[in-house]
Amino acid sequence: MAVLDMIEKPQDLRNIRRELLPDLAKEIRQKIVDVTAQTGGHLGSSLGTVELIIALHYCFDSPKDKFVWDTGHQAYAHKLLTGRRDRFHTLRQFGGVSGFPLRAESEHDHFGVGHASTSISAALGYACARDILKQDHRVVAVANDGSLTGGMAFEALQNAGILGTNLLVVLNDNQMFISHRVGAFGAFLAKLLTLGSVKRMEKKVERFLTRINFWGAYLLRLARRIKVFLFPGVLFEEMGFGYIGPVDGHNLNQLIDVITAVKQLTGPRVLHVVTKKGRGYEPAEQDPVRYHGVSRFDPETGDMVKLEAGPPSYTKIFGQALVKLAKDDPKVVAITAAMPDGTGLDLFRKEFPDRFFDVGLGEQHAVTFAAGLACGGLKPVVAIYSTFLQRSFDQMMHDVALQKLPVVFCLDRAGIVGDDGPTHHGTFDLSFTRVLPHFIVMSPKDENELQHMLKTALNQPGPVALRYPRGNGVGVPLDTEFRLLPLAKGELLREGKDVTLVAIGEPVQSCLETAKILERQGISAAVVNARFAKPLDKAFYLGLARRAPLLVTVEENTVVGGFGGALRELLEGERVEIRTIALPDGFVEHGSQPKLREKYGLTADKIAERVTELLKQRTAP
């Protein structure tokens, strides 16, 4: 019987002989590889944390003890050990297991995550709630080294250091940040530093030195400087944390021993664990960037499954267009937040390394940094996924909009994104960008229009938000010369007298198909590519209203504050009937893009059904 089959809940781990735990780690890795080969997912990061997650569940008692994961893309082993083994094959599928920790899915998922740098803040909240309610459990934040590039993590660290409550932060250092010092000496130090006697002696030495006037202060400063060279955790200790590590994150016996000892310490502590992304699966070990997030692949060879040849992605077209525009304009610079490949800026980085900036997981800094670049006379392009740009709304408002600075925000993955679920859908950006004063907000109907919009955006004297979807383009021919688009005006693509479909972005293509379906039913539908959500040309839309008695807006954005609302605000007081087809006021679950669009009425067939209903309602007595 496989060891993994013996685990129904985390407590079962302690019924297994410790010498079998390495076999369990192998089985978990194989399960992760086999499933993600079929469903896609975050492979490399989850393979790297298998032993760490086994050790944590072995030493702590979930759900009584609380685990808070940072981002959560590394927690597949956690799901397998907490009652979801039999459903793990549904990972990231519609109605299946979420790709991220989700409170509604399991009592062992103590905090829902999907964005980086949040674990320490949330865990500190858990710890303080425990103290106030006089409860007795432990709280563990599992933070990735990359998450410490986000300022929120440091805000939480300094707050936790001041409060001094019992909190364990496990720093998962996957050899892409901080330290590589692992080995027998590191393990020895880790065990040594967990001893209360060592901590007490350290405090006594500090108290003694502070009593010796000038020389004591000098010696204390000298001792701390020496400590910087000997101990990589001095930063944490200066912030009020006890530091233990680094520890080999793949040595299960050592991990269990150290974590068992760390449990006995009080106050805020950092346990520094060094792991390797992709551990145990050679293709992922050799190329951790490529295998960080994967689509379907052959588990035997690691080769990605080749999809049918199709049009290039919006991301690629954006990257190519930006490079072309930057060749003609040396003031164009590009900024991203740890996603150069995902946003298409890898092409820009290769061509213009001195004009490319990757700020790490610091979206807020990225925006204000761009504002400074703009003040300095440059033309910054900030390329960040729609869902992650939400984190910098304040900076967009006060540092860019208020000063009317020419910063271009390129929001990749706008609308329904798919299998990563509610933390990753870009279903709010039309709403939150539209409320920003002085912003121009636009979205292309296809990849060719994206090129022209990018040129248009770079020629504006103020801020612009340009949003476009995940996935391949439509397959239209690409113009070699880019042109400026007329601001605020939409584009009439098809004439019609019964209803006018006004769509923005991705749904324009669906509405063109909808018009054909309606035509077969004897309904004449006009189709308009809105292009802009802000500003809007009132005369243009009043002209459309005179062509047909009903305007139906279609968008892949929440119904609250989106394009439909903008059009109603524009035409308030006019004799125009406007209805909106959009996503509901809520969060969209995980699932494939086609499945979710069908569910939420954004396919051509569903739009046609809704329009037919609306027309019947108008003629009903």
Tell me the per-residue pLDDT of 253-303, one tens digit each, with 9 for 90 and over.
Answer: 999 999 999 999 999 999 999 898 889 898 888 888 888 888 888 888 888
- Give yes or no: 363 in active site: yes
Element (H, E) at 293: strand 293-294
Q: Residue 350 maps to which CATH number?
A: 3.40.50.970
Element (H, E) at 579: strand 577-583
- Do 459 and 521 fall within a single domain? no
**Of 242, 260, 294, which residue sits at a domain end?**
294
- Do 405 and 496 fall within a single domain? no
Phi, psi for 420 (deg, rounded to 5): -80, -15
Q: Report yes or no: 451 and 424 within 8 Å, Cβ to Cβ.
A: no
3 state DSSP class of 304: strand
In the set 31, 79, 349, 391, the catalytic residue is 391
> Other C-beta atoms within 10 Å of 149: how many?
20
For tokens 């004063």, the residue is 437
- Do 443 and 578 fall within a single domain? no
Q: Is residue 447 part of a domain?
A: yes
- Do 102 and 242 fall within a single domain? yes
Q: pLDDT over 70 for what percent of the chain?
A: 90
pLDDT of 223 strictly over 70: no
pLDDT of 534 strictly over 80: yes
**Of 435, 469, 503, which residue sits at a domain end?**
469
- Do 153 and 253 fall within a single domain? yes
- Do 446 and 507 fall within a single domain? no
CA dihedral angle for residue 248, residue 253, residue 259, residue 263, rounded to 10 degrees: -160
In the set 79, 279, 355, 363, the catalytic residue is 363
- Give yes or no: 206 in active site: no
pLDDT of 230 strictly over 50: no
Which amino acid makes up residue 606?
A: K
- Do 522 and 603 fall within a single domain? yes
- Which domain, by its residues, includes 374? 314-469
Q: Report yes or no: 315 and 342 within 8 Å, Cβ to Cβ.
A: yes
- Do 426 and 575 fall within a single domain? no
- pLDDT at position 217: 53
Half-sphere exposure of 138 (CA within 13 A, CB side): 21
Which amino acid makes up residue 175?
A: Q
DSSP-derived secondary structure letter, 472 = B
* DSSP result, 511-537: HHHHHHHHHHTT--EEEEE--EEES--
Residue 588 CA to chain centroid, in angstroms?
A: 15
- pLDDT at position 436: 98
- Give rounded-to-5 percent helix, strand, coil for the chain: 45, 15, 40
Q: Is residue 113 part of a domain?
A: yes
Q: Can you read off the two tokens belonging to residue 588?
A: 């969209």
Q: Label residues 118-129 b or e (16+ Cβ within 10 Å = b).
A: bbbbbbbebbbe
- pLDDT at position 229: 44
- pLDDT at position 596: 97
- Do 107 and 184 fall within a single domain? yes
- pLDDT at position 295: 83
- pLDDT at position 183: 45
pLDDT of 537 strictly over 90: yes
Which amino acid makes up residue 278?
A: G
Start-to-end CA span in the chain (Å)? 69
pLDDT of 185 strictly over 60: no
pLDDT in tens, 558-609: 999 999 999 999 999 888 899 999 999 999 999 999 999 999 999 999 999 9
Q: Report yes or no: 21 and 252 within 8 Å, Cβ to Cβ.
A: yes
Q: Report yes or no: 125 and 156 within 8 Å, Cβ to Cβ.
A: no
pLDDT in tens, 491-531: 999 999 999 999 999 999 999 999 999 999 999 999 999 99
- pLDDT at position 213: 53
- pLDDT at position 96: 94
Q: Is residue 273 part of a domain?
A: yes
Q: Is residue 309 part of a domain?
A: no
Q: How far is CA 178 from CA 121, 173, 226, 233, 272, in A?
A: 21, 7, 18, 10, 10
* Cα–Cα dist 474/502, whole Å: 19
Q: Is residue 287 part of a domain?
A: yes
Q: Is residue 192 part of a domain?
A: yes
CA dihedral angle for residue 215, residue 219, residue 221, residue 223, rounded to 10 degrees: -170
- Do 449 and 518 fall within a single domain? no
Q: Span 109-131, mean pLDDT?
A: 94
* Cα–Cα dist 109/65, whole Å: 11
Q: Can you read off the two tokens belonging to residue 573?
A: 């007081």
- pLDDT at position 358: 93
- pLDDT at position 182: 40
Q: pLDDT over 90 for what percent of the chain?
A: 76
Q: Can you read off the two tokens belonging to residue 361?
A: 């997981």
- Do 105 and 244 fall within a single domain? yes
Element (H, E) at 482: none
Q: Average pLDDT over the chain, rounded to whole? A: 90
Cα 97–Cα 102–Cα 105 angle in degrees, nearest 5: 55
Q: Is residue 600 part of a domain?
A: yes
- pLDDT at position 121: 95
Q: Report yes or no: 580 and 564 within 8 Å, Cβ to Cβ.
A: yes
Q: Can you read off the two tokens belonging to residue 213?
A: 């006037």
**Of 260, 294, 328, which residue sits at a domain end?**
294
pLDDT band at residue 212, thresholds of 50, 70 and 90?
low
Which residues lie closer than 8 Å to 323 by C-beta, 6 or more apart?
347, 348, 351, 352
pLDDT of 414 strictly over 90: yes
pLDDT of 233 strictly over 80: no
Polymer length of the chain: 621
- pLDDT at position 37: 93
For every residue of 12-35, which 3-state class applies, written as one string?
A: HHHHCCHHHHHHHHHHHHHHHHHH
- Do 423 and 570 fall within a single domain? no
Q: Span 15-42, mean pLDDT?
A: 94
Q: Span 195-215, mean pLDDT?
A: 53
- Give yes or no: 467 in active site: no
Q: Span 21-31, mean pLDDT?
A: 95
pLDDT band at residue 232, thresholds of 50, 70 and 90?
low
pLDDT of 330 strictly over 50: yes
Domain total of the chain: 3
- pLDDT at position 47: 94
In the set 138, 269, 277, 355, the catalytic residue is 277
Q: Is residue 306 part of a domain?
A: no
> Other C-beta atoms within 10 Å of 6: how many?
13
Q: Residue 513 maps to which CATH number?
A: 3.40.50.920
